[in-house]
């Protein structure tokens, strides 16, 4: 493409290639966004949930424009085949330690439309949260960009487990990577139903989202109470032999104790952490920006919290040989390595994908460079290698 044309196009330079990636809208892109918004409005209107036809967030606009890629010049993504990146996770071989997180990659095929992206760059992909019946999701706004992060309250919009198993899973290429279902529910019975149906499917493993509100207990999130967390795990464990990964909430008093209860209830692995609850306020209207009033905060802003929680849970998990997916604000190779050192066996990547869909390649290469510099044979040798400082007796831990 002539330089004069490149200079006239709205976009930014890819950090690895120095090539232009188009991420801003023109008339054609605006038309696509409008049509998508109208389709969302029609679906929500039918269920009595209001919708707006404007694009909700700059984050989502960027993603849609990259997906439809009108003018892209980005690095082709070759599969990461270096055996040093491979990890054993609950008996499953992950070809890299990276896991694409639920809610950030749809049902596993959306990012494959982006030039240079490959599912093979991830060891596993967690599919979008799935419930017993179809859910339309929350009213807008659902997403809001914050300093160093993003608030979201999607509301578990999904077509229901039957549709996922019958229509979506058959279209996935299970030779590319591991696919993990994400089970969500409002009652123990719903968790059981969804887990049972995924058990009778080709899915590789099942992640339990215990951050859902328990409608029979006044809406208190299952994951904020150790007893209820354990009951959800026990319920799911009874109906499947597939590996169970319990996603722990940071919005609780003692995450290590909750982890212990989930391990005793039969979980095979833990994902640490889910999003932190937060709010953004429109000062002119004096109302929350998010239609649901509050949402989950993700992105680099939560990384220090996530690292501490992984370290705390690792103290419990390692005694039982339970692996951890460390997640929360990973946006660079250094971030991923920090989580491994803190005790994670695999590392989740989520929000960063919205502004850099090719980040997995960069993280994988950075981890390989770290292995070379420290003369390590594989990723497992990094896991749990944190060496704590010895604090002086006069200092508190705050």
Neighbour-count burial of 134, counting CB atoms closer than 10 A to its CB (0-12 exposed, 13-18 middle, 19+ buried): middle
Q: Can 104 be counted among the known catalytic residues?
A: no
What's the number of CA atoms in the CB half-sphere (13 Å) around residue 319? 9
Question: Which residues touch 60 (CB under 8 Å, ≥6 apart)?
Answer: 143, 354
**Gap between the Cα atoms of 288 and 294, Å rounded:** 7
**Gap between the Cα atoms of 201 and 213, Å rounded:** 26
Per the structure block, which two tokens stand in for 216?
Answer: 């029979």
**Gap between the Cα atoms of 251 and 306, Å rounded:** 11
What's the number of CA atoms in the CB half-sphere (13 Å) around residue 24? 7
Q: Which of 104, 126, 212, 360 is catalytic?
A: 212
Say if residues 352 and 328 touch (Cβ distance below 8 Å). no
**Gap between the Cα atoms of 337 and 348, Å rounded:** 11
Q: What is the set of active-site residues?
A: 212
């Amino acid at each position: 493409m002539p330089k004069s044309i490149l200079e006239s196009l709205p976009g930014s330079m890819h950090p690895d290639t120095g090539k232009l990636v188009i991420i801003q809208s023109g008339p054609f892109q605006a038309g696509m966004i409008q049509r998508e918004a109208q389709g969302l409005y029609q679906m929500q209107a039918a269920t009595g949930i209001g919708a707006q036809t404007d694009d909700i967030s700059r984050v989502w606009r960027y993603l849609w424009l990259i997906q439809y890629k009108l003018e892209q010049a980005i690095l082709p993504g070759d599969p990461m085949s270096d055996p040093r990146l491979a990890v054993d996770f609950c008996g499953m071989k992950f070809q890299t330690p990276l896991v694409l997180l639920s809610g950030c990659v749809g049902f596993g095929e959306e990012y494959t439309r982006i030039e240079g992206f490959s599912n093979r760059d991830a060891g596993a992909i967690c599919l979008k949260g799935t419930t017993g019946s179809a859910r339309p999701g929350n009213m807008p706004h659902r997403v809001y960009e914050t300093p160093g992060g993003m608030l979201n309250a999607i509301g578990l919009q999904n077509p229901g487990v039957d549709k996922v198993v019958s229509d979506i899973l058959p279209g996935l290429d299970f030779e590319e990577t591991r696919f993990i279902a994400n089970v969500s529910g409002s009652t123990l019975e719903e968790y059981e139903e969804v887990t049972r149906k995924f058990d009778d499917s080709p899915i590789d493993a099942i992640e339990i989202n215990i951050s859902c509100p328990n409608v029979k207990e006044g809406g208190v999130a299952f994951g904020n109470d150790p007893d209820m967390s354990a009951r959800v795990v026990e319920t799911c464990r009874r109906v499947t032999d597939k590996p169970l990964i319990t996603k722990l909430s940071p919005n609780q008093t003692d995450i290590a104790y909750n982890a212990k209860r989930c391990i005793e209830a039969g979980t095979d692995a833990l994902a640490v952490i889910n999003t932190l609850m937060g709010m953004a306020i429109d000062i002119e209207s004096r109302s929350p920006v998010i239609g649901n009033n509050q949402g989950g905060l993700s992105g680099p802003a939560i990384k220090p919290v996530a690292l501490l929680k992984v370290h705390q849970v690792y103290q419990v998990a390692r005694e039982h040989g339970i692996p951890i997916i460390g997640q929360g604000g990973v946006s660079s190779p250094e971030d991923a390595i920090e989580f491994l050192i803190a005790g994670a066996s695999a590392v989740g990547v989520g929000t960063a994908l919205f502004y850099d869909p090719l980040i997995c390649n960069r993280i994988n290469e950075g981890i390989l460079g770290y292995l070379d510099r420290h003369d390590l044979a594989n990723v497992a040798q990094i896991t749990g290698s944190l060496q704590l400082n010895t604090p002086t007796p006069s200092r508190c831990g705050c």
